[in-house]
Each structure stands twice: as structure tokens, then as C-alpha cells.
Amino acid sequence: MGKTALVTGAASGIGRAAARLFALRGYDQVLCDHDEKGLRETEEELVNLRREHGESIGNATAVRVDVREEEEIREAVRIAMATYGRLDAAVNNAGISGERHPLHELPKSEFERVLSVNLTGVFLGMKHQIPEMLAAGVGSVVNVSSILGVVGYADAAAYTASKHAMIGLTRAAAVEYSSRGVRVNAVCPAFIRTPMLVRAGVLDDPEQLDFVESLHPIGRLGESDEVANAILWLAQEDSAFVTGHALMVDGGYTAR
């Protein structure tokens, strides 16, 4: 029996790139997202990979999930176990950027909305993923935080708070479960060429794009596949002595 991964936020961007990479490494997967159209596109991409490369490519099952809803998270994990019999890796990637406001103008409802997805969603994911890994005595959870999990950014208080808290949650879980075979880590991407940046208008504005690229000593934006490679490394036994870590995938952003 092959390995199984569960990926949230799999409809686009980093989540889709991670799903593609897990499939190429032979993992069966449960793909989760609230965006049903994007989710089906990811699933179809993996089906096409399997047609092209054969049975070395893992199977994929798409499940519509709102990560704020505990029952939907629980059901996705149940489907993983019922369909594939195991859960070796979980990638809690679903997240939103939220509206941009100075903190004193940030509506309470918007603050709570961002935290409900970016933080509570990750908590609920781990709450239901980890017991299955504990039962097997092995597993790896990778939470997708951000450079804003370790530094501040103007007009992004809710997002920054959620990503800082996610790293704290990751470290607490690592301390609790690593001695029982379950590792928990985070990746912290900088500005990555994803639909989130498209929606923010960064990629369509040459002046804004130049500015954002200049924030990275490497001189460019990151690509989703580059983050996915870091996720895969943390998910697999190559990183067996790594737990409770927040891995920067940031082109040097936080090195300044």
C-alpha cells in the first residue's frame, strides 16, 4: 500500500503545486478546498498525469471542504482513511489574505474572518489529522504559514497575526506529538506567483511588481513549485529529525 496525503487549499497556487508533486512521488491524496471548480481542475490535472505516466502516479479524491467547519474537516479525514487506509502527510495550506486596513480601521468581523480560516482552520485540520497518525505511529503535518509569521507588514494585522499564531500552534503540536512519531512543521513563503497575488493586482501593475520583487534579495518572486518542494521535503523521511521548525522559503526576504 502506498502513502497518502491530505492537502487543503488544493484548488490553486501552492496547494495545487503540492498536490502535483505528491502525485508524482506516488502518493494517493485527498484534495480539499471550498472552490469546487478549481478543485476539479486540480483533480483532472492529476488524472492526466496518471494517464501520461501510468500507475506510478497516485490516485486523487476531491472533497469540498470549508476549513472553518469542523464536521467537513472530520469528513475529509474519514474519507482519506476509508478510501486509502492511512494518512501519512497532511498539508494545511488553505488561507486567505483578507482586506487591507490600518489596524485601527480594521473591522472586528474581518479580523475574525481571517483568523477563522488561517488559524482555526489549521487547528481543526490538525485536531482530526493527528489522531490517525498517532494510531499508525508515524506521520508528518506541514502547515503553510508565511514570512508574515515572523515579521510585520503594514495594513495586514489580521493576516500577520494569524500566520504568527500558526507557527506557535505548529511548535506546540511538535512538542506534544514528536515523541510519538508525528512531526509538525511549517513553511513560510514570501511573495509567490499565485492567484492570491493576481487578486491583489500585483502581477498586473509593473511598478508594484518591481517593488515587491525588490523586497527579496534574490530579485524575483517565488514560484509555487519551489514552496511545494519544501513541503514535500518536510513531509517525507528525508527530514526525519526536523520538527517544530518554521522553514523560510523567501528568497532572502527575512535575511535583511
Catalytic residue positions?
A: 159
Residues 6+ apart with CB under 8 A from 97: 114, 156, 159, 196, 199, 200
Q: How many CB atoms lie within 10 A of CB 11?
A: 26
Alpha-carbon span 133 to 123, nearest angstrom: 15
The 10 Å CB-count burial string (b at 16+, else e) for 97-121 is: bbbbeeeeebeeebbebbbbbbbbb
Residues 6+ apart with CB under 8 A from 37: 11
Judge whether 7 and 80 are in contact, CB under 8 Å: no
